Amino acid sequence: LTNEQAANAVVEGTVLQAQKCKLDAEYDVLLIQKLKTSEEQALLAQKRLTEAAQTTALGVDADSVIGRQKGLYVAQTNGFSRDAEQKAADLMAKTWMTRRTTDDGTVADATNMLDDASIGRAINKLLQGVGA
């Protein structure tokens, strides 16, 4: 071999080594992209389940975030009902107290729903609502 051919052989060897390094790096990138694609598919599947859990009760654990949110909404709904019961009972009691204080002749009867039985039913409903 001549000196020029020897120099070219060294350069070609260096180029081949660089190409091998490049191919190895590209292969590594492909493996990482494949893993990323698999992880993205798993994430999309989980998102699909999460979205479905917001509209249905299927597959929702009670101790999951969605399960706890749904429980909170139920508790809030019940709380609104309890609040309405409490306000109605309070209104009845205050009406009776005001009428009785201002007019000793005020009759508490079934017509005005201020008799003991009517107030008792309202208070009983209130107590049932709070579990007492």
- Average predicted confidence (pLDDT) for the chain: 86
pLDDT tens for residues 49-68? 888 877 777 767 777 888 88
Judge if 81 and 69 occupy the same domain. Answer: yes
Domain count, the chain: 2
Give the residue from 43, 59, 75 where a domain finishes.
Answer: 59
pLDDT for 32: 97
Judge if 99 and 112 occupy the same domain. Answer: yes
Judge if 45 and 96 occupy the same domain. Answer: no
Q: How confident is the model at residue 41 (pLDDT cuts 50, 70, 90)?
A: very high
pTM, two decimals, is 0.45
* Domain carrying residue 17: 1-59
Q: Which two tokens stand for residue 105?
A: 């002749």
